[in-house]
Amino acid sequence: MKTKLLSKLLLSACLAAPMAMTAHAAEETYEMRVGNITSNDAQERSGQIFIDLVEKKSGGKIKGKLYSGGSLGSNDEVMRGLRLGSIQGNINPSGYLSQFVAQAGVLTLPWLFPGKNAEEQIENITNIMEGQAGDKIKELADERGFHVVSLFGLGPNQIYLREYDKSKSVMENLQDKRIRTIGGQEHTQTVNDWGARAIHMSLPEVYTSIQQGVLDGFDLPAAVTVRLKYHEQAPNVLLTNHIVLTQYIAVSKAWYDSLPDDLKKTVDEAGKETEALGTQEYVDEQNEALNLLASNDKFTVIELTDADRAALQKLNKEGVWAEVAKNPAKAEMLKLLEEDIKKLAK
């Protein structure tokens, strides 16, 4: 009797084990930590929109959390973590992606994307990124360890200065100024072409650096500037709109590859849906910030004359644009992008 009873118990245990393993597999969840360097702005909201969509579409199998204000480290540190898989997601301007995917730097060439105002420029980028250049950038990013799920318009950059001499031209005011720029060779060279000195610095350090005179100014979209209150330390706004930023959302390729196929599809679909929602977030925020700057007497908004703009454009065409043309891989990307602009821009 004891032998038969033992046999039955062993058989029951063997039958129950696969069922327990199946139940465990069905309940398995995946962590998705997403790094964001800004806070209380459209970039933060777009990152949260992506996370919410992923959680909803995955039925809670992917649990996401947004870490804003650089709480996971600097942009460079987050990008390294993304490649390793220790951080699962990141939202940022494409200049940071270009440090690993050089061809993505073409997206930050000055005077590239068309549009008469911020709204048109932002919407144009989102449309243009549907083309062959956007597909190529995603393919190259995958090879470098970043799975890009979103590419959409963020907004035009302006130059903000601590001091501005109205008796001098725009070009004279820019000479030798130490200006913090977004990461990436094209951002850096754009400012250097004008005779200023581009400084690479983590965003949270900018406010204090301007306050202490370490920086003379910075290069950012109006919305980011106003939300972080950086304009309080650099109240002179040059409405250059020279670089119109492209936003990306990327997840770690190592993490993405570890997901079941249905969850990979979920992440991709959530990224795609975020593009339209994120675009509208940026349009609304940029317009609000620009109106605030223009209506407040504490800030001096300097409109560029046609001569000023032509002078800056000429220097960039002879500088950063010429450098891109010398690089075969970047030149090919620029060709694809210009074809997409002709087809897809409004």
Q: What is the pLDDT of residues 28-56, one digit of tens each?
A: 899 999 999 988 889 999 999 999 999 99
- In the three-class reduction of DSSP (H, G, I as helix; E, B as strand; rest coil), residue 248 is classed as strand
Q: How many helices (H) and strands (E) does the chain have?
A: 15, 10
Whether 8 is in a domain gets the answer no
Task: Name the pTM for this structure.
Answer: 0.85
Q: What CATH number is given to the structural domain containing 215?
A: 3.40.190.170
Whether 340 is in a domain gets the answer yes
Residue 150 in contact with residue 248, Cβ under 8 Å? yes
Whether 283 is in a domain gets the answer yes
Residue 130: domain span: 30-345
φ and ψ of 166, to 5 deg? -70, -15
Looking at residue 13, what is its pLDDT? Answer: 44
Higher pLDDT, 67 or 99: 67
Residue 260 has pLDDT above 50, yes or no: yes
Whether 1 is in a domain gets the answer no
Q: What is the mean pLDDT of residues 326-339?
A: 97
Q: What is the mean pLDDT of residues 294-318?
A: 93
Question: Which residue's structure tokens are 């200006």?
Answer: 179
Whether 335 is in a domain gets the answer yes
Looking at residue 25, what is its pLDDT? Answer: 47
Q: How far apart are CA 164 and CA 300, in angstroms?
A: 9
Residue 107 has pLDDT above 80, yes or no: yes
- Band of residue 168 on the pLDDT scale cut at 50, 70, 90: very high
Residue 145 has pLDDT above 80, yes or no: yes
Looking at residue 240, what is its pLDDT? Answer: 94
Q: Nearest-CA neighbor of 234 among 255, 250, 253, 220? A: 220
Looking at residue 27, what is its pLDDT? Answer: 67
Whether 184 is in a domain gets the answer yes
- Band of residue 26 on the pLDDT scale cut at 50, 70, 90: low
Looking at residue 262, what is its pLDDT? Answer: 97
Whether 23 is in a domain gets the answer no
Q: What is the mean pLDDT of residues 298-311?
A: 92
Q: How far apart are CA 148 and CA 162, in angstroms?
A: 36
Lowest-pLDDT range of 75-79, 265-269, 271-275: 75-79
Residue 182 has pLDDT above 90, yes or no: no
Percent of the chain residues past pLDDT 70, beyond the cut: 92
Residue 20 has pLDDT above 70, yes or no: no
Compute CA distances 81 → 76, 87, 99, 286, 323, whole Å.
Answer: 9, 5, 14, 30, 30
Burial class (CB in 10 A: 0-12, 13-18, 19+), 295: exposed
Percent of the chain residues past pLDDT 90, beyond the cut: 79
Number of domains, the chain: 1
Residue 84 has pLDDT above 80, yes or no: yes
Looking at residue 19, what is its pLDDT? Answer: 43
Q: What is the mean pLDDT of residues 290-305?
A: 90
Residue 275 has pLDDT above 80, yes or no: yes
How is residue 298 annotated by DSSP?
T
Residue 16 has pLDDT above 60, yes or no: no
Whether 324 is in a domain gets the answer yes
Higher pLDDT, 3 or 316: 316
